[in-house]
């Protein structure tokens, strides 16, 4: 396809517009099908949360009733954490996919 100077290449413009729409729909679908990109947590973020959790708990001499933010545990299995009645029980519920985060206790914090 050749165009003369000054002609608007309508097929190319339509292709670009359709591509932008398709990419936008794909991004929206990926965002809504998961938890959202803002909730994806890296291991380094969970380690930082663990350090803060342990330091806060250590200040209270590891008393079971004085865990940080009044929560029961650091994290747990994702099936347990994602239940509606359990949303506020965990300090770092978004770290549930990491197996080490599911078993955090005083021995872990003392290391």
Q: Where are the domains of the chain?
A: 1-40, 41-110
Comparing 19 with 91, the larger pLDDT belongs to 19
Which residues does residue 90 pair with via DSSP β-bridges, in sequence order? 73
pLDDT at 39 over 60: no
Q: How confident is the model at residue 40 (pLDDT cuts 50, 70, 90)?
A: low
Q: Which two tokens stand for residue 66?
A: 């004085």
What are the distances in angstroms from CA 53 to CA 62, 69, 82, 98? 11, 9, 20, 16
pLDDT at 99 over 70: yes
Q: Which whole number is the average pLDDT over 2-16?
A: 78
- Residues with Cβ within 8 Å of 106's Cβ and at least 6 positions away in sequence, in order, are 57, 62
Mean pLDDT of the chain: 78
* DSSP-based three-state secondary structure for 73: strand
Burial class (CB in 10 A: 0-12, 13-18, 19+), 96: buried
Residue where the block lists tokens 């929206």: 28
User: Phi/psi of residue 61, each to 5°?
Assistant: 50, 40
Position 20 scores a pLDDT of 96
Q: What sign results for the dihedral spanned by CA atoms 78, 83, 86, 92?
A: positive
Is the whole-model pTM more than 0.75?
A: no
User: Phi/psi of residue 81, each to 5°?
Assistant: -65, -40
pLDDT at 18 over 90: yes
């Amino acid at each position: 396809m050749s165009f003369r100077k000054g002609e608007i290449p309508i097929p190319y413009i339509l292709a670009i517009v359709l591509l932008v729409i398709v990419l936008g729909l794909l991004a929206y679908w990926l965002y809504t099908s998961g938890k959202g990109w803002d909730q994806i947590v890296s291991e380094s973020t969970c380690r930082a949360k663990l350090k803060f959790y342990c330091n806060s708990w250590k200040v209270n001499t590891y008393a079971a009733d004085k865990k940080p933010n009044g929560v029961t545990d650091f994290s747990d299995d994702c099936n347990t954490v994602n239940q509606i009645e359990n949303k506020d029980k965990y300090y770092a519920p978004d770290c549930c996919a990491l197996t080490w985060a599911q078993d955090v206790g005083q021995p872990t914090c003392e290391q």
